[in-house]
Amino acid sequence: MKAQIVVLPGDGIGPEVAAAGVAVLRQIAERFGHQFTFSEHAIGGDAIDRFGDPLPPSTREALLAADAILLGAVGGPKWSDPNAKVRPEQGLLAMRKLLGVFANVRPLKLHPRTAALSPLKPERTQGVDLVFIRELTGGIYFGAKTRSDTDATDECRYSVEEIERVVRHAFELARTRKKKVTSVDKANVLETSRLWRSVATRVGAEYPDVALEHQLVDSMAMHLLTRPADYDVIVTENMFGDILTDEASVLAGSLGLSPSASVGGPGAGVYEPIHGSAPDIAGQQLANPLGTILSAAMLLRHSLGLTDEAAVVEAAVDHVLEQGNLTRDLGGTATTQAVTRAVLDACHAKAEAA
Ligand SMILES: NC(=O)C1=CN([C@@H]2O[C@H](COP(=O)(O)OP(=O)(O)OC[C@H]3O[C@@H](n4cnc5c(N)ncnc54)[C@H](O)[C@@H]3O)[C@@H](O)[C@H]2O)C=CC1
Ligand SMILES: CC(C)CC(=O)C(=O)O
Ligand SMILES: [Mg+2]
């Protein structure tokens, strides 16, 4: 198959992990006889430096013509002055809005070797297999903002349509899994959450085969650490999902292991690790590339329909974890490039065996 893949390396460790994802996709294309074309474009701080715009027109044009998009990460201290007129993260938000990718799918599957690194007792993490569906194009990140010398505001707004489509996405996914949806909100305080809860309840009635429970976000943050194996699909609004998924990544052993797919728009999906640009380790080959490589596997499955190829990549990652070829965040000493090389070797072996 032919596919145009737009690569957005971004800032900090973004280029290091994006290179790992591209290397794996190139090898899969070669091994399985696909023609993937890769084109790199600017986003975030890199784009501010080069074009004065965190999502320049050349990048927008490429995004709209792509079959799939692989992103590293954006942001960093260089562009983080609270008084800066323009910020890298605006490029990321503008891209999500441009593509209409309202459902951010963040799976959390644990590998026994790395789950053992989690601060939780093994009996607590046993059997954890859950997926967050985070609403991605609405809520407080996209509301009107004001700031004066004396105060500031961020508006949080959700329409029924925005809630309904993402909740429906969660129910459809739950039907293919353990048939349970947990809808997370703050309905004891927020009007947007009360609307969220009423829409989730109405949509849930259309799925009598799927159990629906509502959970307040503060206690959800606690339950994720005390009984994570009780959950299947967790659907929530943009900011709550952003925060809960970083928390949940700890159960897997490292934030660097978590992939994501942003889907639901009319065009291409966006695939990126859930972590940020990690300025504290950038440029040192310390970044764990596995979250990005697993995002590349999601790209193969969800945007290109290449399920066998995606399974080869996921099996290769499992093999590398099993072998203990680990970056520093997982207690190892391997570099980003060495772990990527190990995944490429394992992909080769798994594809031969397939
Ligand atoms: N999608 C994106 O592009 C995102 C961008 N950001 C941006 O990233 C910048 C840094 O934000 P932080 O709050 O520090 O979050 P972060 O996710 O970049 O880093 C948090 C901690 O996790 C570690 N870490 C993250 N990814 C890792 C990996 N692959 N391997 C090993 N260790 C890893 C970092 O070294 C750091 O100690 C900010 O400018 C923020 O806005 C944050 C989240 C997502
Ligand atoms: C700019 C932020 C919304 C990025 C982030 O933290 C994320 O998408 O996980
Ligand atoms: Mg985040």
pLDDT tens for residues 281-291? 999 999 999 99
Quick one: which ligand is closest to 278's CA? Answer: 1
Domain extent, residue 259, equals 1-106+254-354
What distance in Å separates the CA atoms of residue 305 and residue 2, rounded to the nearest whole number? 12
> Domain check: are 184 and 135 in the same one?
yes
CA of 86 to the centre of ligand 1 (A): 19
Q: How confident is the model at residue 353 (pLDDT cuts 50, 70, 90)?
A: confident
In a domain, 141, yes or no: yes
Is the pLDDT at 115 greater than 90? The verdict is no
Q: Which of 170, 316, 147 is nearest to 231 (CA)?
A: 170
Per-residue model confidence (pLDDT) at position 7:
99
Is the pLDDT at 354 greater than 80? The verdict is no
- Where does a domain end: 252, 272, 293? 252
**Mean pLDDT within 191-214:** 98
Tell me whether residue 283 is annotated as binding.
yes
**Mean pLDDT within 138-153:** 97
Testing ligand 1's pocket by substitution, the residue of 71, 255, 257, 337 carrying the most ligand atoms inside 8 A of its CB is 255
> Domain check: are 248 and 262 in the same one?
no
- Where does a domain end: 252, 274, 304? 252
216 three-class SS: strand
Name the closest-CA residue to atom 23, ligand 1.
278
In a domain, 14, yes or no: yes
> Domain check: are 245 and 141 in the same one?
yes
Name the closest-CA residue to atom 28, ligand 1.
256
Per-residue model confidence (pLDDT) at position 215:
98
In a domain, 112, yes or no: no
> Domain check: are 85 and 202 in the same one?
no
> Strand 2-10 vs strand 35-40: parallel, antiparallel, or unpaired?
parallel
CATH classification of the domain holding 57: 3.40.718.10
- Where does a domain end: 252, 285, 319? 252
In a domain, 346, yes or no: yes
Tell me whether residue 76 is annotated as binding.
yes
> Domain check: are 126 and 210 in the same one?
yes
What distance in Å separates the CA atoms of residue 69 and residue 38, rounded to the nearest whole number? 10
In a domain, 200, yes or no: yes
For residue 58, the one-letter residue type is: S
**Mean pLDDT within 118-134:** 92
ipTM of the complex as predicted: 0.99
Quick one: which ligand is closest to 280's CA? Answer: 1
Name the closest-CA residue to atom 5, ligand 1.
276
> Domain check: are 49 and 100 in the same one?
yes
Q: Which of 198, 187, 184, 194 is nearest to 240 (CA)?
A: 184
> Domain check: are 246 and 258 in the same one?
no
**Mean pLDDT within 32-42:** 98
Tell me whether residue 87 is annotated as binding.
yes
List, by residue number, the catalytic residues: 141, 186, 218, 242, 246
> Domain check: are 90 and 137 in the same one?
no
**Mean pLDDT within 27-37:** 97
HSE, CB side, 13 Å, CA atoms: give it for residue 336. Answer: 23
What distance in Å separates the CA atoms of residue 235 and residue 207, rounded to the nearest whole number? 15
In a domain, 179, yes or no: yes
In a domain, 167, yes or no: yes
Q: What is the pLDDT of residues 59-74, one digit of tens each?
A: 999 999 999 999 999 9
Q: How many domains does the chain have?
A: 2
